[in-house]
């Protein structure tokens, strides 16, 4: 029996020219291109992101992820003077011990030295096989805020001098304008196109704006290793929805407002909350949810039935990535891939610093 094509990793591959992978953000956030996919009539339109002020209306409820990216990449030196790079996987945890990825590898009990007298020793591994380091001084977060670099994904090339040269630009632009709760090690990139001006215009149009938090973790970049995508396990990420924002969502559900998620991270949080706390009517339509917080490992791929999200903003994702599978679950794999083909023809900019997509 042949496998369902939607469940095979190889069917999420596509060819992309290196020059379409955005290395830097566009000068003005909202000037990104916007490809619009209509799921009902399978039509595709090409606009600009600033057009969303006309696309959204007062019957819409827009959910944004207000997590803040920590500059979680830190460079230090070994006792021999060799350079070492640490990526903190859970940078806001308390105490002297942290989970990290280290490049190049160091031996057990060896030390890495940083600015201001900070040093850490590699003391062991956690259950997932991540390295644990222990610091000699408290307030490691202030060390990261002062000396850390934004944890840009590996396809954005920031070798040595470039990392320094663009450190400030990346600190501003690899962060949404509404970020307010530190904890992420990757940006919720669909939100990078919003400006305060656009948010104000949406509020004037009476679009309801809801804040949710999902601290994006390393799992976002973790490659899928099995051709059967069902075998893949997402790493847990922390989400928070407070009562005030849950009430806004309940109001939207009651008044049949369209719930639009900004980014796959918001989608994962909303769908998790709908699964855990949702109340449904006799026709299985979601009626209400509760505010809650916790960890989610939800992996959304074709076959998934969406409980809450009715439209989404997202970026153009890497081949064979979990966000590409989620958008395929939402709009259909073939439709998504045909839209990507058009985006490539129209020279859209891809991935984190790239252009935007709206699926309705």
Of 323, 269, 322, nearest to 295 by C-alpha is: 269
Reduce the DSSP state of residue 227 to 3 states and report it. coil
Of 148, 156, 163, nearest to 315 by C-alpha is: 156
**CB atoms near residue 200 (< 10 Å):** 11
pLDDT at residue number 47: 98
Residue 105 to residue 331: CA distance in whole angstroms: 42
Is residue 58 within 8 Å of 207, Cβ to Cβ?
yes
CA dihedral 180, 183, 189, 194 (to 10 degrees): 0
pLDDT at residue number 1: 56
| Paired strand residues for 88 | 100
Is residue 359 within 8 Å of 331, Cβ to Cβ?
yes
Q: Which residue has the tokens 């075998």?
A: 231
Residue 212 to residue 124: CA distance in whole angstroms: 34
Structure-block tokens of residue 1: 């029996």
Residues 6+ apart with CB under 8 A from 325: 12, 229, 299, 300, 301, 302
Structure-block tokens of residue 286: 């979601």
Q: Report how many helices (DSSP H) and strands (DSSP E) the chain contains, helices first.
A: 9, 19
Is residue 199 within 8 Å of 181, Cβ to Cβ?
no
In eight-state DSSP terms, residue 2 is P
Of 5, 7, 19, nearest to 304 by C-alpha is: 7
- Give the DSSP per-residue string, 85-143: EEEESSTT--SSEEEEEEES---TT-EEE-GGG-EEEEEEE-TTS-EEEEESSS-HHHH
Tens of each residue's pLDDT in the chain, 360 residues: 567 999 999 999 999 999 999 999 999 999 999 999 999 999 999 999 999 999 999 999 999 999 999 999 999 999 999 999 999 999 998 899 999 999 999 999 999 999 999 999 999 999 888 999 999 999 999 999 999 999 999 999 998 789 899 999 999 999 999 999 999 999 999 999 999 999 999 999 999 999 999 999 988 778 999 999 999 999 999 999 999 999 999 999 999 999 999 999 999 999 999 999 999 999 999 999 999 999 999 999 999 999 999 999 999 999 999 999 999 999 999 999 999 999 999 999 999 999 999 999
């Amino acid at each position: 029996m042949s496998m369902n094509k939607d469940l095979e990793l190889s069917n999420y591959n596509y060819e992309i020219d290196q020059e379409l992978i955005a290395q830097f953000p566009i000068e003005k956030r909202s000037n990104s291109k916007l490809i619009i996919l209509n799921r009902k009539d399978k039509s595709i339109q090409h606009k600009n992101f600033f057009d969303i002020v006309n696309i959204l209306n007062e019957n819409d409820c827009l959910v944004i992820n207000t997590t803040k990216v920590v500059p979680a990449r830190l460079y230090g030196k070994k006792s021999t003077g060799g350079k070492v790079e640490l990526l903190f996987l859970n940078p806001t945890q308390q105490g002297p011990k942290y989970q990290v990825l280290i490049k190049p590898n160091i031996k057990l009990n060896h030390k890495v030295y940083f600015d201001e007298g900070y040093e850490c020793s590699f003391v062991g591994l956690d259950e997932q096989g991540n390295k644990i380091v222990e610091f000699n001084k408290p307030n490691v977060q202030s060390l990261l805020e002062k000396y850390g670099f934004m944890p840009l994904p590996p396809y954005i090339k920031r070798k040595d001098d470039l990392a320094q040269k663009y450190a400030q630009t990346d600190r501003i632009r690899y962060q949404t304008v509404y970020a307010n709760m530190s904890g992420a090690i990757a940006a919720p990139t669909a939100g990078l196109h919003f400006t305060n001006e656009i948010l104000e215009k949406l509020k004037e149009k009476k679009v309801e704006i809801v804040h949710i938090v999902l601290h994006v973790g390393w799992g976002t970049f973790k490659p899928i290793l099995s051709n059967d995508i069902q075998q893949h396990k997402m790493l847990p990420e922390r989400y928070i929805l407070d009562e005030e924002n849950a009430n806004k969502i309940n109001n939207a559900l009651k008044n049949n407002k369209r719930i639009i998620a900004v980014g796959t991270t918001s989608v994962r949080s909303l769908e998790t909350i709908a699964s855990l706390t949702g109340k449904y009517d006799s026709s299985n339509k979601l009626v209400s949810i509760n505010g809650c917080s916790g960890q989610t490992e939800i992996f959304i791929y074709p076959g998934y039935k969406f409980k809450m999200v009715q439209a989404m903003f997202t970026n153009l994702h890497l081949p064979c990535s979990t966000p590409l599978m989620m958008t395929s679950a939402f709009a259909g794999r073939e439709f998504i891939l045909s839209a990507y083909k058009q985006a490539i023809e129209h020279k859209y900019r891809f991935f984190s610093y790239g252009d935007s997509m709206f699926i309705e």
